[in-house]
Amino acid sequence: MKLVKNMGTLDRIIRLAIAVVIVILFFNGNLSGSLAVILGILAVIFIVTSVIGFCPLYMPFGFSTRKQ
């Protein structure tokens, strides 16, 4: 199955920025416990989806932030 990119540049930048903020907060000691784990998983998901340019949650709704 071929993945069709459905994320625009701004969407990808915003996701990467949020992931960087989460990582910084974690390494500064501002996040701990269950919240750190949940946000860490979210940060990894944001990084992966930003790098590949595909968000699986957009697909069922036919949503795309990419310019055609």
Question: Is the residue at 68 inside a domain?
Answer: no
Give the contacts of 7 (CB within 8 A, at least 6 positions apart): 15, 49, 50, 53, 54, 55, 58, 64, 65, 66
Looking at the structure of the chain, the number of domains it has is 1
pLDDT of residue 4: 86
Q: Determine the structural domain holding residue 42 and report its residue range.
A: 9-53
Question: Is the residue at 63 inside a domain?
Answer: no
pLDDT digits (tens, 9 = 90+) for 37-66: 999 999 999 999 999 999 999 988 988 999
Q: Which of 52, 45, 55, 56 is nearest to 19 (CA)?
A: 45
Question: Is the residue at 58 inside a domain?
Answer: no
Question: Is the residue at 34 inside a domain?
Answer: yes
pLDDT of residue 62: 87
Question: Is the residue at 33 inside a domain?
Answer: yes
